[in-house]
């Protein structure tokens, strides 16, 4: 089989690599991501990127530009300026983001800034937490006869008028744990039933992963009672129920805690 030209391409100084680090488990970093990190001379990374993945950048200067929620952060403008400056100074620059760089990661803005500045760059897609975190916890986001559509939304901006129709059979919410009441209200307004199974997965694929299941209408109370915080993913839909049958295998993984069952 012919090798992809991208995979065999030599890494170039003066280039920015926008790399998705995956959801946390270092085994879910892509081969291209690992290759690029090994050659990097400087890495600008987010808070979601785990230490085993950062250690792959053995020869690089590490710059933490991450933030938790609305906490202290390097401004987006400053990050974009720094990437351009580092590339122009001849560095082999990696911009390392959790999951996939183009899924709620502001990778799009950074790619556009590099394009506008005429700086060469490569997108290295990552395994997005949106699908990988539910899967690793035993929750398929689609399932024949149960869920034939899936929507991924942010929990940051759920205020305002509700959507006209139900979003999808399965809804995956990123950045929604601090806003769980608004997310629940939005999904109820869009036509989902209060008893729809829901799950909260905190630090999915990491050794300290936690998975809590409940009904949609219980989500905010469960988040508070269990002390669930970012980074967490909310999954709502009948497919969450499949976890009961897949849980034996999933629960056997180290560090996974099953805090509650799905209620009917």
Ligand X SMILES: C[S@@+](CC[C@H](N)C(=O)[O-])C[C@H]1O[C@@H](n2cnc3c(N)ncnc32)[C@H](O)[C@@H]1O
Decide: is 23 part of the binding site for ligand X (CB under 6 A). yes
Query: Judged by CB under 6 A, how many residues of this single chain contact ligand X?
Result: 25
Contact mark string toward ligand X, 99..118, x via CB under 6 A: xx--xxx-------------
Q: Which of 25, 46, 100, 169 is catalytic?
A: 46
In the complex with ligand X, the residue whose CB is nearer, 91 or 104, is 104
Residues 207-246 that bind ligand X (CB under 6 A): 230-233
Which residues 118-157 are close enough to bind ligand X by CB under 6 A? 128-130, 133
> Which residue is associated with the tokens 């949609």?
216
**For residues 204 and 133, is the Cβ–Cβ distance under 8 A?**
yes
Element containing residue 97 per DSSP (H, E): strand 92-97
Verify whether residue 97 is a known catalytic residue.
Answer: no
203 is a contact residue toward ligand X (CB under 6 A): yes
Whole-angstrom distance, CA of residue 142 vs CA of residue 140 = 5
Q: Does 32 bind ligand X (CB under 6 A)?
A: no
Bridge partners for 214 per DSSP: 198
Runs of H (alpha helix) within the chain: 5-8, 31-39, 51-54, 76-88, 107-117, 129-136, 180-189, 219-226, 243-251
Q: Give me the least distance between CB of 36 and ligand X, in Å please.
A: 17
Catalytic status, residue 175 = yes
From 113, 174, 211, 216, residue interacting with ligand X (rule: CB under 6 A): 174
Residue 39 CA: distances (Å) to CA of 59, 113, 234? 7, 23, 36
Q: Which residue has its beta carbon closest to ligand X?
A: 99
- My answer on whether omega of the bond before 231 falls inside 30° of 0, hence cis, is yes
Task: Return the active site residues.
Answer: 46, 67, 175
Binding site for ligand X (CB under 6 A): 23-24, 48, 97-100, 103-105, 128-130, 133, 174-175, 201, 203-206, 230-233
């Amino acid at each position: 089989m012919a090798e992809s030209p991208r995979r065999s391409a030599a890494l170039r100084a003066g280039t920015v690599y926008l790399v998705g680090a995956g959801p946390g488990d270092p085994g879910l970093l892509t081969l291209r991501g690992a290759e690029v990190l090994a050659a990097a001379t400087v890495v600008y990374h987010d808070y979601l990127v785990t230490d085993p993945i950062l250690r792959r950048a053995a020869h690089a200067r590490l710059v933490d530009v991450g933030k938790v929620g609305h906490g202290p952060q390097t401004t987006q403008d400053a990050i974009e300026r720094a990437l351009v400056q580092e590339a122009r100074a001849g560095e082999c620059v990696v911009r390392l983001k959790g999951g996939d760089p183009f899924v709620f990661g502001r990778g799009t803005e950074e790619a556009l800034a590099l394009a506008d500045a005429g700086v060469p760059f490569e997108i290295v897609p990552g395994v997005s937490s949106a699908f990988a975190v539910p899967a690793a916890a035993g929750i398929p986001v689609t399932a024949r006869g149960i869920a034939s559509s899936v929507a991924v939304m942010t929990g940051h901006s759920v205020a305002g008028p509700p959507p006209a129709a139900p979003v999808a059979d399965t809804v995956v919410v990123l950045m929604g744990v601090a806003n769980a009441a608004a997310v629940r209200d939005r999904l109820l307004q869009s036509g989902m039933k209060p008893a729809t199974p829901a799950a909260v997965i905190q630090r999915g694929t990491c050794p300290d992963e936690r998975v809590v299941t409940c009904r949609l209408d219980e989500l905010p109370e469960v988040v508070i009672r269990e002390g669930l915080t970012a980074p967490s993913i909310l999954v709502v839909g009948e497919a969450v129920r499949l976890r009961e049958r897949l849980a034996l295998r999933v629960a056997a993984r180290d560090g996974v805690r099953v805090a509650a069952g799905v209620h009917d």
